[in-house]
Structure 1
């Protein structure tokens, strides 16, 4: 049986304890997240950029990519970033049966755990398409479902200057979970301009909490 996705309106009503969209914290922190990697060219350069600014982030990896580039999975974790699950093949989960959705989640989690030798406790659905049944299953599995509060729109392959302008014209606020992708390098050019600005504004760049 196919499981339908949750609308944007309903998604906003789900408690943060079930679907994390933002952190409410007393400290001025931003949470950068990167989907769809690891990428053999982009991810290493992105890691170097984050090191340059002493910034931490979270990487939601596609299982097939993690399996192909296990050394990058290890390197992400070695540099102090959070490694998270983004499904095995990046399929549209609501188009799959409930059982097939869980298989996508579990297979990717098993790949990551086999590389890092520790549990993978964060998951983000491809394209942010969630179902209530899967969210409840993740909760029972003690896996944290993570969405985002700000989308860089870098997946549209726009010029980095457009990404920078959009995020500066509509300023981020403390606790924002920001969506980027490390399957193309426009995020690197954009973040090389954005990271020092955010830090000058007093934000820490942190990885997702355990």
Structure 2
């Protein structure tokens, strides 16, 4: 199945990322925040990889926007408007607030169950979608939006971003933003680098497209299939005001992620946490 093939490829890239020291095990922020500087005239470095040729959409000239034009006021940066680190928590949402986030979807095998659980408890979350999955499941994007969830950009094909040229990063982010905007009528305001591996190029290009970078505070490590009880324990032990929890709704067998959400979500609510998302400006 498609998501199994994607999972195998991502495990290979993850091992590469760990091997070359591009990222750490949890937050995996790129070790060199400067990244690869652009060549004169804007040409990408030689040998840099781009989106797979098999991608159904070709790279587009997705329009660039100033970062401050479409971001919530409380998160707008000081000049110059390019961050050097992603948000890892959102304390300004309130002393009782937490954020749940899900990467790699939407996947028709798992995303509907996650959406149903969130709907049952009246909770909103952030979904960082891959363009190749979003293009094939636009109905699920619309369902996310209708339920008040935040739909963010997680690249087109889930590559290791620091290994890409600037041109390739623009294509990965631009094609995904285009799918989201065409489907929902508005561009994404947030993006998350695959594997949490960032560099200066990704910050600059994401900012030019009007998106804020979002990492996470608590990694459930659900992609390793550690068991439902282990995922529940990690989320509950990491719970705190402003925390952003990372989980997945695609990229492999996510049945444990689905079952874990059904257990830890009512427990977090009972503990007094308000599960919410950043607001649009």
* Fold shared per TM-score above 0.5: yes
- Check conservation: 1:157, 1:186, Cα contact below 8 A: yes
- Shift, 1:5, TM fit: 4.8
After superposition, give the CA deviation of every residue in 1:133-157 in whole Å (9 maximum; x if it has no partner).
2212322332111110110100101
In structure 1, C-alpha distance between the alignment counterparts of 2:107 and 2:28, rounded to whole Å: 33
Residue aligned with 1:20, SS: coil
> TM (normalized to structure 2)?
0.68
SS in 2 for 1:31: strand
TM-score under structure 1 normalisation? Answer: 0.89
Offset at residue 196 of structure 1 (A): 1.3
Structure 1 residues 91, 114: CA separation in 2 closer, same or farther (over 3 Å shift)? same
Q: Which runs of 5+ in 2 are unaligned?
A: 1-20, 34-74, 78-82
Distance 2:29 2:127 in 1: 26
1:119 equivalent in structure 2 = 187
Aligned residues: 204
3-state secondary structure, aligned to 1:189: helix
1:56 and 2:124 equivalent? yes
In the TM superposition, what is the alpha-carbon distance from 1:201 to its structure 2 partner? 1.4
Aligned: 1:186 with 2:253? no
* RMSD after superposition: 2.1
Q: Is the 8 A contact 2:23 2:196 kept in 1?
A: no
Name the residue aligned to 1:172: 239
Runs of 4+ in 1 over 3 A off after TM superposition: 4-12
In the alignment, which of 211, 215, 231 is matched to residue 143 of structure 1?
A: 211
Any residues of structure 2 matched to 1:8-19 within 5 Å, and which?
A: 17=77, 18=83, 19=86
In the other structure, the counterpart of 2:268 is 198
Cα drift, residue 78 of structure 1: 0.8
Equivalent residue, structure 1, for 2:41:
none
Q: Is the 8 A contact 2:191 2:212 kept in 1?
A: yes
In structure 2, which of residues 98, 103, 113 is the aligned counterpart of residue 35 of structure 1?
103
The 3 A distance-change label for structure 1 pair 53 and 186 is same
The structure where strand makes up a greater share of residues is 1
For 1:165 and 1:118, locate their aligned partners in 2 and report how far apart those are by CA, in whole Å: 36
The unaligned stretches of length 5 or more in structure 1 are none
